[in-house]
Structure 1
Amino acid sequence: MLESLEQALKWFQGDESQVTVHRYKIEVPDVARLRRKLKLTQADFALKIGVPIATLRNWEQGRRYPTGPARVLLNVLARRPELVMEAIDAAQTVEAAE
């Protein structure tokens, strides 16, 4: 374990000779195109994915970009829209019943 900590410290200081660094880039889908494909208004789409409409507009207009879980959700939504929408609708049904 001490060896791992020493390697981590060296990497942090800029020495990458003893470490393998994996970096992943999660692509940002075209949010406006995705929303239109789902035939949703900005208000409906923002509500379904749980973000303020102003945030959605900023994404669509390129002023800001989704990060973290929002970026992952949008990527999954772009690939498997029926699955994600089914899960979102089921969650909203449960919330309405509570």
Structure 2
Amino acid sequence: MSFFDELKASLEEAVEIKKGAKKPARVTRYEIADVKAIREQLNVSQGEMAKALGTSVDTIKSWESGRRNPTGLAAKVLAAIKANPAFFKELSAH
């Protein structure tokens, strides 16, 4: 099967899934971190959190207001902090 044929088959499958004629092989869902709740639980300022995560205060504000959501490594780090708040102290020490 050529690359074009594979791409065409993939797109046809996507159309079937969109129409409800076929179920997707897998569905990935991500929990969006409640950054403000995590920060308040840690009792730290936006500046302290930004410094520990290596980002800007504006990014923290955007996450807290819901204008943007943490993705990638930031989302994983926030999940780790939520599960283990002591991890934040380790991050902020570096």
1:59 to 2:63 alignment: yes
Identify the residue that residue 10 of structure 1 maps to in structure 2: 9
Q: TM-score, normalised by structure 1?
A: 0.70
1:89–1:52: structure 2 CA closer, same or farther, 3 Å change rule?
closer
Report the CA distance between 1:8 and its aligned residue: 6.7
Q: Distance in 2 between matches of 1:62 and 1:29?
A: 10
Please state whether the residue corresponding to 1:69 is helix, strand or coil. Answer: helix
How many residues are aligned here? Answer: 87
Greater displacement, 62-71 / 36-45 = 62-71
Correspondences of 1:44-83 after superposition (within 5 Å):
44-82=48-86
Gaps of 5+ in 2: 17-23
Give the ranges of 4+ consecutive aligned residues of structure 1 lying more than 4 Å apart after TM superposition.
Answer: 6-9
Residue identity in the other structure for 1:75: A
Q: TM-score, normalised by structure 2?
A: 0.72
